[in-house]
Structure 1
């Protein structure tokens, strides 16, 4: 039996470059080398695509790595390589990877890929569009105000405070992992936060704070998705910042599964699944929510390719729900192949 040829794309032109590398390392560890022919494709921070070896995952600069590209129909091409891919796992987090850009390239290259399609990837990366769509379908989200770069001078503290009240959070609209996010408690911190957020995006959101527990639910599947038990993030800092997630070991702890009653579990799972379907997601996604003391549920955001190390929230939620990490990777590959077949079978021309 011939091996399935897999392309693992990792790294990327994103502030979450290092997180992607950790996720790729974890996936590489559990993939069955006897079943899969694994091709590691590293995107440098400057945008070069390099074909690397497993032992060079973190040391590509010290080794010889060939520049490559993916072309239709699903091939890796370089000076000395021309190889067919059966499926791609784009383990990329944040902009220029999780936002539909790479997904669009893979669609043009006619290769199956793991995760959400171009449309849902782009929508979920844009927190402003996400909130508008969810709100229109009856899903509760935090009140917010958005400023584009050319409207930066319209970001007025008093007017914004009147609409949202204190405290507020300021964040880049198209970023993940709490990059560029600041908590605002007064006028000075408001303008500092606006400046900080505009370093990472041309569109900035100011959001009212929700006083509630931070709950996350993992979803796996296409037409009939599996919904995990909820998990809770218990932050030991002012909020779940980038430092709390990846740098400060004592910044936060994960409670998996979360301590909830059956009513709360069911309600959170229902909102997560409805959100996943409204945003046209497929394959995988993690829905992040707030649960208030009055059992109100507010959706914060949806991650279409969440952190994927073996200790990340997404795989841990599925593991506690009965799906092991290695089985999860296998399932995601199957889902990618199913989706691609459905698209391939669609008519491409009006001429019979």
Structure 2
């Protein structure tokens, strides 16, 4: 993987890859402990001896070096401090590569950077070159996102089925002689995802007026005639790619205000999806959504500063992949979209006296339009 580094000899990351998407993208080696990625004329990994065999089998980087080659344990015995010993090992490794001017990502350890500088190295923080590379997905990456999406849709079908089949008593949904709760629907979705080799770190089941808080996870009884916002970010455990989807449903009869909100949100989403294609900016798509909602009489945060708590209060969408939120964005500052970008389209309206409505699909940007990966139905009232 060739990087453009005009002011540096090499690019260096020191991190685990379980939570660092850039590290996993660069190496395709999944590890819970930190290791070293080096990119200059060649790519190299420096890993613990315990991980050497697995890294050689699994990493896309073929030049894998054990930490023992640079005497990590001897340095630790001498210095008595693993952080200092690890830094000295890195300094020795970089010296062997004739690398003195080292580019590192913005989230690089300050302690490690200071230690490297004390040893005569120039450390140059830069925006990670992998962030922009990750925006355009390969066919394999799109297939992994689609896999997660299909699993999410099957899980959502199980969740909404439980809501549809629940009897209503005094305005509350019941299941096996006990109130049906957000926690119950969340558990159904989680178990369905796990059965398909997927997971979701955060599942929103927000019912009633409190659904006006876009990221309220939701708890307690599911009510009839009230909005239920169901939002999940399914991820394939093997491929590690996320998808993202939201539906808003009602069991019973929604209020007229809620039906109007739903209609406006759905129309704004359709208008946005119809205009997404390579060459169009994320800001243009966001403005289309705001135009539709404002024409319907709803307030949007477009162009506003300060506190804004009701109406359309967030951006239209974001990139999705190894991270739940990554570039590009469909927002006021959104840049030009490229073919292969995978973005969410998720307009919403939120009013404290009514609740919230959000509808979210995931689409792949193409040269002439976009391909919607989301197939789940969009009906406010569950029948």
TM-score (norm 2): 0.29
Higher RCO (CA-CA < 8 Å; seq separation 6+): 1
Q: Which has the higher strand share?
A: 1
